[in-house]
Each structure stands twice: as structure tokens, then as C-alpha cells.
Amino acid sequence: MSALAAPAVPRPSSGSTLTGTGRLVRFMLRRDRVRLSVWTLSVVAFYAYFADAMGPKARAARALVMETPAGIVMGGPGYGIEDYTVGVAIANEGITWVVLALGIMSVLHVVRHTRAEEESSRSELVRAAPVGRHAPAVAAIVTLLAVNAVIAVVSALALHGASGRELPLADSFGLTVGSGLSAMVFGAVAVVACQVTEHGRGATGIGLAAYGWALALRSAGDIQERHGNALSWLSPIGWAQQLRAFVDLRWWPVALPVVAILLLLALAAFLASRRDFGGGLVATRGGRADASPSLRSPLALAWRQQRSAFRWTALGMAALWYASGTLLPEIMEMGASGAADNEMFQAVFGGSDPAVFRDGFLSAMVLFAALTCAAYAIVMSGRAGAEEAAGRAEAVLALPVSRSRWFGAHLVVVGLSTVALVAVSCYAMWVGAVQVGMGEPGLAAYTDVFWTHSVALLVYLGLAAVLYAWAPSLAPAAWLLLVYAFVVGMFGAVFDLPEVAEAISPLDWLPAGFGEAPEAANMVGLAGAAGVLLALAFVGFRRRDLQSS
């Protein structure tokens, strides 16, 4: 890959605006050595796992799913779907996700080392040294290219190796290099965005929005026509898929991302020499001089701080679980055939009888949804800690606002948002299922699932709150219960854990089957646990010193 994209890298010696690029490259690699290693290993592991994961029956079932519109959006244009081999499956389904992961990495990397540095005025120190104007941006691109190249090479070798050399090396490289170049396009978009906006967040948003557009274009094109039409060819994700790896490999489409990257970088260089250090081409819009009348309580402020995260999460979950709902018929078929030849599958999903399997599958989906909501609750309850660490809690608590009122405001917003997300997930899944004619289980079952899981999730919120209130540095330990619940929920039956061990997970107290009536005593117990934890949290938070920087 490095050979292909080499023209994208201006030589550091070519001019004084690039002085110091080499040292900055070393500095960035040093600074990000852990971060970049984790990204690399994760992507390589994803490829290697995929290459070894599916049996022939499971693949045949997946091929059915991948012909549905939802399958096409989450997968690809369907090259080779008639004979769905491992390689075809990876290329068809994997590219969208690999490009998403690498694209996020690329956008974050670029923004982190250019605009965010400028914003924090750290790069003022660097730029005051003998370092050229374009050096930080070029160094960011060079390091990005290097890490993408490493990922592409190692991934290709991993694919080849993990499949027992069944996957041809050339096609493996086509897949990984195409995906890497596609992701680099989003990195290059971020470089341009960094010249235009004043803030790192804005640039990151533009970079990720570009991915969203690319996905929408490719999906629209691929749904309209198998193997894609003109719309698919407008999308960088489509370019990687159109290499047709493992079907009928062709190399010329890699020219598209290379040209796109060069054009974007040329545009960025042109814009960069027309703006001031620290400034953008688009000035930040002014806001309100006076607060809206509703912004008059800690509760209103907490909502204001969390509402955009909530809206985006709700939107994402609605789309994800709606799509999952529409997949239900195909997944039943796929699961039934997969379950027939896989004992572990049966253990996890509760057997191979289609109805039992359907409910088992729905339960597993709900477990994922619930854990996602629990993660949201834990992340968002951390906002209180962030407010405290930044000294903003101090500003509010120095006014006539009690500790309980401030803390309660955060917990109320997080609690209601979490419950709302559970509702969105459950009912989106139901709507999706009904649309493809899966009227069974009915709305009442989804409603039971919604409220019982909501109660269980409040235990997570309570735990996160108690940890934060009594020992802020231990707050991340709430994640342990989440991981534990996942392992017990997914594999408890496989590991044959004792009941006591399973009961530690709040979700284990809920009915095992989808939509089964809950046991009243269990629900009272869960609600009681959540109540006690939250009460303890308030006691603790009122007693302790406020931490400040």
C-alpha cells in the first residue's frame, strides 16, 4: 500500500514549510504508540476471526440475509453471492465495517494532531520552533499512511494465514489495501475540514459525516442494482468493494482513492496557506447573548449537556434495532440451519426448534440492546465526574444549590435517557419485525421486555452512582459488572456457572425467555437494589469533599 500511495507524501526536504516533519513524525508515533497499536491489533484480529468463523451452512444462511435491503446496507454489493465462500463473505460484509473502523481512526488521528493541537495552543509551542507551516499536517498524514500500510500488510498476511492459505494472497491484499485507501480518503477529508473549521469537534464531525454520505450513496446504488450502479461508484466505500476481491480481482479502482486523496490534500494545502494560525476559513457562529428562559436549574443544564449525545444515540439505536427486526425471518432460517450443526450455538440460543430459537435470538438481541443502554448509563453518569473535575460543579455548588439537587439532576437525566433508550430499542425492533410480517411475539411481550430491562438497568446506574459518590477514582469499576453480565448472559449456559455466580448480574434476574412474565419477587428485588444503591450514592456524595483541579 505504501508503494501505491507514495505520491501523496510530499518530500520533507522540498521546502522550508516542511522543516521538522521528520521529527514530528517520530514524536507522533511516540505519543500514539499505544493507541495505534490497539487499532492495528483490533483490525487484524477482526480479519483473522472472520476468516475462520463461519461454517458452510452458516455462510449459506448469511448469503440470504445479505440479499435483503438491510443486509445490503450493512454488507456490500453482493459480488460472488451465488457461491458464498469465506473470502466472498469477508469482502462483501467486512469492507463496510473495516472502512468504518479505519475511517474513524484516520479522522481522529488527523484532527488530534492538527486542529486539536492548534486549538489547545500546544502547537503554538511547536510552530514557534524551527518547524514549517505545513509540517504538522504532513507529519499527521505520513504517520496515518504508515499505520494504514502496516495494518493492510499485516491484515492481508493474517487473512492468508488464518484461512490456512485458502484465501489467495493477492486478493487478501486487494481487500486490505482497498479498505485502507478508502479509509485514508476520510482522513484526507478531515485534513480539509481542519482548515475550514476552527474546532476539532467540527472537523471530526465533518469527517464522520463524509463516511455517512459514502455509506448512503453506496447502499442506495447497491440496493438499486446488484454489484452497484453509478451511485456506488461515487462512494469511497464502494471503491474498495469494486476491487471484487476473492471473486474476480481487478486493481484499477485503487486509482480512485489515490487520486481523491491527492486532490483533497492539494485543496487542503491551498486553503491552509490562506488562513491564520488558529483560525478557520469559516468563523464560529455566535450564540445567544441571553439564556433561554428554561435554562434555570441544574436539571435543565444537565439535559442541555446530554441532549445531543442522547439524540444521536437514540437515532443510532432506533436504526440498528429496526434493521435487526427486519432481519428476523432470515435470521431464523440461518440460525436454525446453523444451530443444527453447532452445539454451542444451540446452548447459547436455546435449541434448534425455530420458535424457541427465534425467542432465544430475540433474547440475545435484547441482551445486546440492554448492555448498550447500560453502557450509555455508565458513560453518562460519568459526566457528573467530568463536571466536578473541570471545576464546573464547584461554580454551581457555590450558589444556593444543594449537593443532592445537583447530583440528582444528573442522575434523573441519565436515568430517564437510559429508560427512553431501552424503549426506543425494544419498540424499534418490534416495528421492524412487524414490517416483515413477524407479528409473533406481540407488542405486549416487547413491552414486558422494555420495563423489566429498564428496572435492571437502573441497578447499573445505581452502581455507577455509588462508586462515583464514595470513591470517584473507582467509578470505572462499574464497567466490570457490565462485562460480567455480557459473559454470563451470552455464555453462562456454555460455562455451566453456578446459579449464585449468575445472579450477580442484574440481567440474570429477568425472565430467561423473550417476553415471559417476570417474577414479581425478582422485580421487587431489582428495584430495591437500585433504590438502595441510589440512596447510598446520595449519602456518599453529600459527605465527601468536592474534588477539584
Point out which residues bind other proteins (CB under 8 A).
Answer: 198-199, 284, 286-292, 295-298, 301, 304-305, 390-392, 394-402, 543-546, 548-549
> In Å, how far from its chain's centre is CA 124?
32
- Judged by CB, which is closer to other proteins: 313, or 337? 313
Nearest to residue 151, comparing CAs of 254, 44, 47?
A: 44
For the bound state, the minimum distance from the C-beta of residue 296 to other proteins, rounded and expressed in Å, comes to 4
For the bound state, the minimum distance from the C-beta of residue 204 to other proteins, rounded and expressed in Å, comes to 14
- Judged by CB, which is closer to other proteins: 199, or 227? 199
For the bound state, the minimum distance from the C-beta of residue 398 to other proteins, rounded and expressed in Å, comes to 4
For the bound state, the minimum distance from the C-beta of residue 406 to other proteins, rounded and expressed in Å, comes to 10
Nearest to residue 124, comparing CAs of 112, 107, 136?
A: 136
- Judged by CB, which is closer to other proteins: 14, or 292? 292
For the bound state, the minimum distance from the C-beta of residue 401 to other proteins, rounded and expressed in Å, comes to 6
- Judged by CB, which is closer to other proteins: 37, or 120? 120
- Judged by CB, which is closer to other proteins: 42, or 284? 284
Q: How many CB atoms lie within 10 A of CB 516?
A: 16
Torsion sign (Cα): 162, 168, 169, 170: negative
70 burial via Cβ count (<10 Å: 0-12, 13-18, 19+): buried
The total number of residues shown for the chain amounts to 549
Cβ atoms of 93 and 350 within 8 Å: the answer is no
- Judged by CB, which is closer to other proteins: 289, or 520? 289
DSSP assignment, residue 516?
A: P
How far, in Å, CA of 396 to CA of 453, rounded?
34
- Judged by CB, which is closer to other proteins: 131, or 409? 409
For the bound state, the minimum distance from the C-beta of residue 416 to other proteins, rounded and expressed in Å, comes to 20
- Judged by CB, which is closer to other proteins: 57, or 304? 304
For the bound state, the minimum distance from the C-beta of residue 395 to other proteins, rounded and expressed in Å, comes to 7
Identity of the amino acid at 158: A
DSSP H or E segment with residue 308? helix 298-326
Cell of 527: 428495584
For the bound state, the minimum distance from the C-beta of residue 134 to other proteins, rounded and expressed in Å, comes to 25
- Judged by CB, which is closer to other proteins: 435, or 548? 548
- Cα Rg of the chain (Å, integer): 26
For the bound state, the minimum distance from the C-beta of residue 397 to other proteins, rounded and expressed in Å, comes to 6
479 burial via Cβ count (<10 Å: 0-12, 13-18, 19+): middle
Identity of the amino acid at 55: G
153 burial via Cβ count (<10 Å: 0-12, 13-18, 19+): middle
